[in-house]
Amino acid sequence: MQGEFSLRNAKMLYMRNVTRLTISALLATAPCAHAALNDVFPADYAANPEGTTTAKFFLFDRYLEGPYKQGAKKIDGELHNTTAALQFTHFAKLGNYTVAPLAVISWGNSETSPASLNKSMGKSASGFGDLRMGATLWLYNNPQLKKYVAVTAHVLAPTGSYDPNQIINIGENRWRYVLGAGWIKPLGKSLHLNIAPEIAFYGKNDQFNHGHTLEQSHSYSLTGSIGYRMRPTFYLSIGGQINRGGETRLDGVDQNNPINSSGYSLGVVYFQPDKKNQWILRYAHGTNIENGFLLQDEIALRYATAF
């Protein structure tokens, strides 16, 4: 009897540890499920003329594997996420500066496998994502020299689909605040450099996974790319992204799970001859992660039009 009792206790402790691990790992990847709203594409920080309104449609298909804990894969699981988003931006003048307020709505679907991951995270989630609103202010805007410096401020409101009885969700059930900047500089006639740092702050979610309280430290990211213009309407880009921070606390207990991930991307950009329509096709792959789900493959398609 004593042996059976000890074995049962050991099994229960093991299951709690696995669940705790999965929670920690997924929390570290929370931004991945909303990358469609935060990704910086080549030339995103090039300002359009005053009075222009742009509409951008995003479609992302991602496969992530894990979760990882301290750089080691703990479960041979998979997270598949599909996200579509629509962004509207209007360019105006604020004194001598160009400013562009924006709004983004999105819809997503996420699924996990195998069954062991289904039980701890939930099998699937779908619905609208959190509403994003914000603005970009250009501190330096010189279309002739193709040089731009801008700052951004965005807020994501907890309006998205959220089920408090499972971990995997499309909405976050918390506020998120994002501060960023962008710098574009030509490197000769055919090359240009894009640099975009970002810091995100997270509100509290007090309905996480059956009523637990989730808190998250701020996270940092740095996105960079180099574009090569092969002709006036077509160019190639290669880029990378580094993510740091974002440790979580569950019911006040530090989970010690900073994201600490990095990856690269390859893309092609095509401008239609009227210069008002643009297509971007991009492939991205994660190279390493300390805690969370590693991005295995991502295909992103973006169409933008100006009017």
Bridge partners of 64?
79, 295
3-state helix, strand, coil in the chain (%, to 5): 15, 60, 25
Please name which of 284, 279, 281, 268 lies closest in space to residue 223, comparing C-alpha atoms. Answer: 284
Rg (CA), the chain: 21
Q: Determine the residue type at 144.
A: Q
Q: What are phi and psi of 17, to 5 degrees?
A: -65, -40
CATH of the domain at 297: 2.40.128.130
Computed over every residue of the chain, the mean pLDDT equals 87
What's the confidence (pLDDT) of residue 74?
84
51-106 pLDDT, tens digit per residue, is 999 999 999 999 999 888 889 988 889 999 999 999 999 999 999 999 999 999 99
pLDDT surpasses 50 at 10: no
Contact 191, 177 (CB under 8 A): no
pTM value is 0.87
Number of domains in the chain: 1
Q: Where are the alpha helices (DSSP H) in 135-193?
A: none
The residue-averaged pLDDT of 187-204 equals 94
Q: What are phi and psi of 111, to 5 degrees?
A: -140, 145
What's the confidence (pLDDT) of residue 28?
41
Instruction: Look up the domain containing 301 and give its range.
Output: 2-306
